[in-house]
Amino acid sequence: MSFSTIPLAGTKPEQYAQLLQQAHALLHGERDRIANAANLSALVYNALPDLNWVGFYFFDGRELVVGPFQGLPACVRIPLDKGVCGAAARLRQTQRIEDVHAFPGHIACDSASNSELVVPLVTTNGELIGVFDLDSPVAARFSVEDQEGLEAIARVYLESLQ
Ligand code: SME
């Protein structure tokens, strides 16, 4: 299969609708969680501006372990009581952090990161799979519209595993 990405255009909600469609097409017919996490990271990293890290951490039953990503090498293991990723996984709530330096316990993997969005990945059965993590060098990079768009992308990922 060949896959071509078309640059996103229009308003932010329109751009996320296009990105969602591309994500659906990219993951269609494949259930492997590593393959889909790798391709989705690459899609989002290249489609959206002002990102320096996009990727997955998987929950191994005890802590989060880094999975496929785009960006600089990252910390491998994150306990659930540490960092923005740990908070998203523990609370099962998206963490939208305008200034990571003001977040108690933030883990700085890449010193260029200034804002962060972490979406928990929880199945319809309530099983925590991990988190989808995006970092930006721009302060307050992620708006509520970005959060909603990226939560929808995360749902496409979860649905692809079924
Ligand atoms: N900043 C994250 C750690 C992961 S990196 O951003 C890739 C955190 O505080 O959980």
pLDDT in tens, 108-117: 988 899 999 9
* 95, part of any domain: yes
pLDDT band at 59 (very low <50, low <70, confident <90, very high): very high
* 109, part of any domain: yes
* 2, part of any domain: no
CB 54 near ligand 1, within 6 Å = no
Query: What is the DSSP annotation of 141-154?
Result: ---HHHHHHHHHHH
Nearest-atom index, ligand 1, CA of 106: 9
- Residue 151 phi/psi, 5-degree rounding, is -65, -35
pLDDT band at 28 (very low <50, low <70, confident <90, very high): very high
- What pLDDT, on the 0 to 100 scale, is given for residue 1? 55
CB 106 near ligand 1, within 6 Å = yes
Expressed as residue numbers, the domain containing 47 is 12-160
Domain count, the chain: 1
* 64, part of any domain: yes
User: How confident is the model over 31-58, as a mean pLDDT?
Assistant: 98
* 54, part of any domain: yes
User: How confident is the model over 10-18, as a mean pLDDT?
Assistant: 95
Contacts 24+ apart (CB under 8 A), 138-144: 138/50, 138/114, 139/98, 139/99, 139/114, 139/115, 140/98, 140/99, 140/115, 141/50, 141/51, 141/114, 141/115, 141/117, 142/96, 142/98, 142/115, 142/116, 142/117, 143/12, 144/96
- What pLDDT, on the 0 to 100 scale, is given for residue 5? 75
The residue written with tokens 């751009």 in the block is 15
CA of 138 to the centre of ligand 1 (A): 15
User: How confident is the model over 44-59, as a mean pLDDT?
Assistant: 98
* 5, part of any domain: no
* 4, part of any domain: no
Examine the pLDDT at 57 and tell me if it is beyond 90: yes
Examine the pLDDT at 141 and tell me if it is beyond 90: yes
Examine the pLDDT at 4 and tell me if it is beyond 90: no
CATH number of the domain residue 144 falls in: 3.30.450.40
- What pLDDT, on the 0 to 100 scale, is given for residue 19? 97
- What pLDDT, on the 0 to 100 scale, is given for residue 109? 87
* 3, part of any domain: no
* Global pTM exceeds 0.85: yes
